Structure formats: C-alpha cells, structure tokens
A and B are shown apart, each in its own frame.
Chain A
Amino acid sequence: MALELHPLEQFVIKPIVPLHIGKIDISFTNSALLMTIAVLLATAVVVIGTRREELVPGRIQSLGELAYEFIGNMIDETVGTDGQRYFPFVFTLFMFILFGNVLGLIPFGYTFTGQIIVTFAMAAVVFIGVTLIGIWRHGWHFLSFFVPHGVPIVLLLLLVPIEFLSYLIRPFTLSIRLFANMLAGHTMLAIFGGFAASIGVLGLLPLGLDVLIFFLELLVAVLQAYVFTILTCLYLNDAINLH
C-alpha cells in the first residue's frame, strides 16, 4: 500500500516561467522562487532590523542582532579573531541555509536544501575557498597540514594518504549530511501524512505522530544550518591555523 504513495513528489522541480537559451534550460523554477524568497527574507531581517537602531531592540532588530552575534561568537571561538574577515561569507551561508530549511517546512512548499546539487554546490564553494585560503596564507607550507606531528616515519606512509583522503571527502560529507536530513525528514512527514489519509478514523494516530515529527524537523532544520556553518568554521580554522 505504501508504494501507492508518492512521498518524493514534493522534491520535483517545476518550471514557473519557462526560459530557454539555445538548448540550455534556465527556467525560473519553484526551487529558484524559494531561493529568491529566502534571500529576500534574510536580507529584510538584517536591513529592516538595523534601519532604526534602538537601545531596546524590537522583534526584528533583536532577531538580526541575535543571528549576527551568534555567528560572530562562533567564528571567535573556532577560528579566532583572524577569521572575522570571513564573517560576511559565513553569515550569508548560515542565513541562506536557515531560511531555506525553515521555509521548506511550510506545507505544500518546497525545500531547495533537499536537492543534492544545491548543497553540493555550497559545500564545493566552501571546500575550494578554504583550500585556496590555506594555500594563499601558507604557500607550500600548507601541505604540512596532511602530516601529523610526532608520528614515526613508517606510520606516516599510512597516515598521510588517510589524512589526504579525509580532506578530499569533506565536500561530500558536508553536502550529503544536509541533503539526507532534509530528504529523509520531509519524506517521513509525507509518508505518515499518507497513512493518516488512507486509514480513516485510526488515521488520527499517525497524524499526531506527524505533528511530533514536525517539531523534530523544526529542530533539525535549525540544527543542520548550525552544523553546516560550524563545520565551515572548523575547516576555515584548519586552513588558517594549520592544526
């Protein structure tokens, strides 16, 4: 019976304004619409919040200040004051993912962070950017990152390839973590919703469960934005301070 449901239908990309240049499809899709809304909302929170700076902040101002201080403290704790020059990038990343995750929870909406290509693009930007920062700051000395301190030479033959592989695998784990969380969470909501619709009065039981899962998903949405950002900070720390 469960196979009759289509819980993955919510991830289908539908064009809203079809646009084609030659053979390239650049249609404005529901994914692009949600991204635009997320960017506009995140910008609005910060811009409107700081337009009239009051000593006792209102709702929007305290939301903006909270997010700003949260990311500022996170960079201070993980990277140190050296990392503050990368604050704009980390803050933008956090707000984009946070608004994408939370907007995706609106029923009949769309979750663009549930697309592997979106999360992988973000993770690839982080990975390439962090590697370039490391090479730019340390030059050839950056390679010492792959050599653990105080290890016998024989063991290094084994450890250096492992360190190198675990460095190369970072963009994949970073992107799949966010993608899998969003995919599994939203699919689970849809499956339990399908149960509730198909078994009549008894359906109140899965419906109640759905409400509880929704709160878990709200926690996960905020938490995964936090995890993506703090891992970006940790990678930045590796590049700037080399262990």
Chain B
Amino acid sequence: MNSRSTGAGVIATAPDERRTEAASAEAKPALWLAGPPAVDLRHISHTFRSLDRSTVTALSDVDLEVRRTEFVSIIGPSGCGKSTVLRLISGLLKPSSGSVSVFGLPVTEPRDDIALVFQRPTLLPWLNVVDNVTFPEKHKTGRVSKETAARALDILEIVGLQDFLRKRPAELSGGMQQRVAIARALLQDPDILLMDEPFSALDALTRDELSVELLDILVRRPKTVVFVTHSIPEALLLSDRIVVMSPRPGTVTEIIDVPLPRPRGLNSMLDPVFSEMASEIRSKVFTRARH
C-alpha cells in the first residue's frame, strides 16, 4: 500500500466528510463536549484467578479520568494490566472493586458507543473487506442497512482501501488488514474508541503511516480514544496525555501531558520537545519496570 494514494483519497473526500460530520453533530446532543468525563475509573482493582488457581492482581487502585475527545495513551511494560483497563471500560470485564463510569453512567454491560480495535486485525477470513467492515451491524441486527453499506464505502476510502473492497483478508498485507479492522471500528461510529496495541504487529513504516492516518481521521471525526501501546514515540505522536503504568500489581505511576501542538504529523517527531519527552518517559518506564 503506498501512502500517496491514501493521502489523495483523504483530501478528495475531505469536504464530503465535513458535511457528514456536521450532520452527525446535529444528531448528537448539544452537550456532547460538556457534562461528565467520557471515562472515569475510580479506585479500580482487579484480580484474576490464574490457571494454577493462584490469584493475580492485575490492577491495584487505578484512577483515571479521560475527557471528551481526548486521546489518552496507556504505556507500560507487558503484564501491567493495560489491556485489562480497556476491557473494564468496554464493559467486557467487571472490576473486582472500584467503579467504572462512561459519560457519567456506571458501566454494567458493553455499550453501543464504544468500539474496540485489537492488536491482531482478527478479520473473518471468509468475508471480503466490505463484509468485514459491516460485520458488526450484521452480527448485532442480522442485516446491513443501505446507509451502513454506503458509509462503509466512505470509511474504506478514508483508510485508503477503496481498491480492495472485494478482497479477502488473506490477500491483504498486515497493515491493510489492520486498516480494515480500524474501519470496522469507525463504522460503528463510536464516541469512544478503545485501541489495544493496534499497530504493534506492524512494521515501523506502516506504523507511522497508520498513526498519521489515525490523527487525520480524528481531526475530522473527533472521538475519545484510549490507546494502549508499548511504543513511546507512538504515544507521544498521538496523545494529549500519556498514562505510565507499572506492573505487578498494575497501577498508574504518572500521567504526563503532551504539549505538542496540533494538528500533528510526522514532523511533530522532529520537535525538540518530542525527543526530550521521549527520553523522559523512557526513564520513567524503565525505573518502574526494574522493580
């Protein structure tokens, strides 16, 4: 996949996109930006029963507030419960103690306004790109509405897959598969996007490319994003705030504001603030991991 055609596609559809954005803004309540935070975790602790029947404390007394349309990255070594945080927000897991609220309401079950993107694309190998992207609606309601089908084409154009609509996942590269997975999540038009190391299985070039595309998409369709990653540069490039976690038991050790100006792009990585912050965060992640 070359980035040129992707870029061109984004520019070409931009005016159209703004219009649909305006339409959906009307549909949403006017208090969209006001009111309670998008995500509010309070005193969250979570323990698992592991296979050998011992209990593992995945999270211990985690507090985290994510404001509306904010991009928050969670960074930390493996096994610090980053993914658990996402599953708690999504309602797939219930915390052992503490409370999870989304838009001011306690989370008791999965919500329609939250979509997930996983580390692996996990597409359905027997469906083509379009059917994979519309799969959530098909799965939930049993059919795909005309509007959804039309929107799917728009979104696939945004992620640069307009020429691969009828391909099966096996015919796509890893980066393209992950684009399909992102398009699948975007088609659900979620207010909150939970991304669990979505680019970590990709090569460095594709990673940067997809990060920039994600930035573009979020400029046009603002969303609250909670993004789990291992990559400090990725977190810096994308985030408004970075949450540093330490493992065993997983807990928040630091929350860092990223003052880099928006809109951001690959050039943001050349900003001296960027490298300064990268080494600062690296030292924090490292000292914590050594315990």
To the question of whether A and B form a pair in one complex, the answer is no
